[in-house]
Amino acid sequence: MVFQILISSMNPDPKVFEGLPAPALVISQNSKGEEFQSEKFTFLSFNERGLSKSRNRAIENTKSKFALISDEDVKFVNDIEQKVVDAFQKYPDSDILTFKIETPEGTPYKTSYPDESFIHTRSTIYRVSSVEIVVRVDSVRKKGLMFDENFGLGAKYSSGEEVIFLNDAMNSGLKLRYVPETLVFHPLESSGKVLDKKYFRSKGAIVRRLYGFNPSLGLGLLFLAKQFAKKEKIVSLSRAISESSKGFFSIKKD
């Protein structure tokens, strides 16, 4: 199999995922244990919780050469498989490619998408969403690369799993590139994030997990400064700094 969409879900019904434009593997976190297999569609159930756990199950179980990290609320372009194959043929040295999201109305999901391809840096990976990521499966497996299960929805720290995954990939020597092609559609939505004590503690933990005390820590401190400046926060600046510090020192990193 050349390409597969890896979908993380909590829906126990395989029928919900019929009619996708490319082969798919659905990892459903539920207690019913239902499984389904056809030529182009696999549905596996696991009685566990955590988005990063689901991502890792998908990477472990896919039989494809290339795989898109995805969720159940995402729609896909009809020629998604061909676009992915063409991109990896154009950039054969790349191990991970990131793409674009559009709204159902056809507008860019983010205003920060460049028109030209580029090689990712430590700073550009902060802007990547999980559903933009396509991996060369063999490259990821050879490096033992997995999503950190301490981060992401359902984990101790509720965000940061994608930037940590991409940073770990760079640390392992994998090559990451952005491609200005749309693969998926997702409606614009208000963030819904509550910038409370838990939010800032999570951000501090992300920075420690990414950088420890190495020279790149400056990038993490800049990231935190941007979080502190957000007007939506519901805690004081001093509390935001305090909680970020608690999160930072809650992580052990060599």
Instruction: Tell me the backbone φ, ψ of residue 186, rounded to 5 degrees.
Output: -150, 135
Residues 108 and 79 in one domain: yes
What is the reported pTM?
0.94
pLDDT in tens, 195-218: 999 999 999 999 999 999 988 899
Of 162, 185, 208, the domain-final residue: 185
Question: Into how many domains does the chain fold?
Answer: 2
Is residue 39 predicted with pLDDT exceeding 90?
no
Residues 225 and 172 in one domain: no
Of 161, 185, 209, the domain-final residue: 185
Residues 69 and 119 in one domain: yes
pLDDT band at 115 (very low <50, low <70, confident <90, very high): very high
User: Within a domain: residue 254?
Assistant: no
Instruction: Tokens for 47, please give them.
Output: 């009685």
Residues 208 and 108 in one domain: no
Residues 127 and 227 in one domain: no
> Residue 165's closest CA among 229, 204, 123, 210?
210
Residues 101 and 201 in one domain: no
> How confident is the model at residue 173, as a pLDDT?
98
Distance CA 53, CA 148 (A): 8
User: Within a domain: residue 190?
Assistant: no
Residues 154 and 30 in one domain: yes
Residues 105-128, mean pLDDT to the nearest whole number: 96
User: Within a domain: residue 192?
Assistant: no
Residues 173 and 210 in one domain: no
User: Within a domain: residue 135?
Assistant: yes
> How confident is the model at residue 42, as a pLDDT?
95
User: Within a domain: residue 209?
Assistant: yes
Residues 19 and 80 in one domain: yes
Q: Which residues form the domain of 245?
A: 197-249
pLDDT in tens, 48-85: 999 999 999 999 999 999 999 999 999 999 999 999 99
Q: Is there a contact between 243 and 206 (Cβ–Cβ < 8 Å)?
A: no
Distance CA 240, CA 35 (A): 44
Residues 220 and 138 in one domain: no
pLDDT band at 11 (very low <50, low <70, confident <90, very high): confident
Is residue 93 predicted with pLDDT exceeding 90?
yes
Average pLDDT, the chain: 94
User: Within a domain: residue 55?
Assistant: yes
Higher pLDDT, 115 or 193: 115
**Do the bridges between strand 176-185 and strand 3-9 make them parallel or antiparallel, or are there none, so unpaired?**
unpaired
Domain CATH for 94: 3.90.550.10
User: Within a domain: residue 220?
Assistant: yes
Between the alpha carbon of residue 4 and those of residues 19, 68, 89, 112, 254, the distances in Å are 14, 7, 17, 27, 35
pLDDT band at 245 (very low <50, low <70, confident <90, very high): very high
Residues 179 and 231 in one domain: no
> How confident is the model at residue 157, as a pLDDT?
96
Q: Return all residues near 200 (Cβ < 8 A) that are at least 6 apart.
A: 227, 233, 235, 239, 240, 241, 243, 244, 247
Residues 127-149, mean pLDDT to the nearest whole number: 98
Distance CA 224, CA 210 (A): 13
Is residue 29 predicted with pLDDT exceeding 60?
yes
Residues 119 and 84 in one domain: yes
Of 185, 211, 241, the domain-final residue: 185
User: Within a domain: residue 191?
Assistant: no
